[in-house]
């Protein structure tokens, strides 16, 4: 039976994709090319440096490693400026209620995010208290689709990966969950999340029975 639920952050709990996009777009503009919202789809669930690689590929630009680190830092400073202003009102509909009812029913909860900014976001949203374990981009070495982030979450929860359910909005994240031997619930439209075991549009009016498989 299911003993724990692991949540991705960006795109599952809060729509930070729009802020990532604003910051990447600003960087692209500074470098002299356009970065569209469609291009941005490719960055979902992808690590910061890999995101930069994709952005530079779109712009047809190449830089040495030192410059790339500086560019990623610049993007991150803008991103942090944007997310420093977010509050509770940006928690996606139904998420908080869902987390509360999981815990009331004895299900452990964890965060499994690639973001190094996860703690700032959780604090601003005031939802840190709903997680028994928090694994973010500072704690892992290998990016999704590697299962490291989710396996570490299961380990901290002291639960067998087979008894974990993962909520993810990105394809790389669904793959990571499957690679961890977990049940993967996609959050979003089902046409993009083919490998998910189940797909939900969001947590609005979702009952905790959906975690049973």
Closest CA to 174 of 159, 164, 187, 161: 187
Closest CA to 95 of 1, 187, 177: 187
Q: Does 40 bind ligand G6P (CB under 6 A)?
A: no
Binding region for ligand G6P (CB under 6 A) out of 38-46, 63-71, 100-108, 195-203? 38-46
Interaction residues for ligand G6P, span 60-79 (CB under 6 A):
76
Q: How far apart are CA 176 and CA 178, in angstroms?
A: 5
Phi-psi bin for 205: left (phi > 0), alpha (psi -120 to 50), beta?
A: left
124 interface partner picked from ligand G6P, Mg ion, none, CB below 5 to 8 A per type: none
Q: Does 115 bind ligand G6P (CB under 6 A)?
A: yes
Residue 168 forms beta bridges with which residues? 186
91 interface partner picked from Mg ion, ligand G6P, none, CB below 5 to 8 A per type: none
Q: Is 10 a catalytic residue?
A: yes
Q: Of these residues, 10, 65, 132, 195, which one is catalytic? A: 10
132 labelled binding-site residue:
no
Q: Does 124 bind ligand G6P (CB under 6 A)?
A: no
Q: Cβ of residue 201: shortest distance to ligand G6P, in angstroms? A: 18
Binding letters toward ligand G6P, positions 127-156, x by CB under 6 A: ----------x-------------------
Q: Does 10 bind ligand G6P (CB under 6 A)?
A: yes
Tell me the chain's radius of gyration from C-alpha atoms.
Answer: 17
Q: Which of 8/102 has CB closer to Mg ion?
A: 8
Q: Phi/psi of residue 206, each to 5°?
A: -90, 130
Q: Which of 109/115 has CB closer to ligand G6P?
A: 115
Helix or strand (DSSP H, E) at 22:
helix 17-31
189 labelled binding-site residue:
no
Q: Does 8 bind Mg ion (CB under 5 A)?
A: yes
Separate counts of helices (H) and strands (E) for the chain: 8, 6
What the block records as the tokens of 23 is: 């910051």
**147 close to 179: Cβ distance less than 8 angstroms:** yes
Q: Which of 161/173 has CB closer to ligand G6P?
A: 173
Q: Is 8 a catalytic residue?
A: yes
Q: CA 140 → CA 2, 107, 173, distances in Å?
A: 24, 24, 14
Q: Which residues bind Mg ion (CB under 5 A)?
A: 8, 10-11, 45, 169-170
List the catalytic residues: 8, 10
């Amino acid at each position: 039976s299911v003993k724990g639920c692991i949540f991705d952050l960006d795109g599952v709990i809060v729509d930070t994709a729009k802020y990532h996009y604003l910051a990447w777009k600003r960087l692209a503009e500074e470098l002299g090319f356009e970065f569209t919202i469609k291009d941005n789809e490719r960055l979902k669930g992808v690590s910061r440096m890999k995101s930069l690689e994709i952005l530079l590929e779109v712009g047809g630009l190449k830089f040495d490693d030192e410059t790339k680190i500086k560019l990623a830092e610049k993007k991150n400073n803008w991103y942090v400026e944007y997310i420093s202003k977010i509050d509770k009102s940006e928690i996606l509909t139904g998420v908080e209620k869902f987390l509360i009812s999981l815990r009331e029913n004895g299900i452990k909860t964890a965060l499994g995010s690639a973001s190094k900014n996860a703690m700032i976001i959780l604090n601003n949203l005031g939802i840190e208290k709903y997680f028994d374990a928090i694994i973010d981009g500072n704690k892992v070495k290998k990016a999704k689709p590697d299962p490291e982030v989710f396996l570490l979450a299961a380990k901290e929860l002291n639960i067998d990966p087979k008894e974990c359910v993962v909520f993810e909005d990105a394809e790389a994240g669904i793959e990571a969950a499957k690679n961890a031997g977990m049940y993967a619930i996609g959050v979003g439209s089902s046409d993009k999340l083919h490998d998910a075991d189940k797909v939900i549009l969001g947590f609005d009016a979702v009952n905790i029975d959906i975690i049973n498989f």
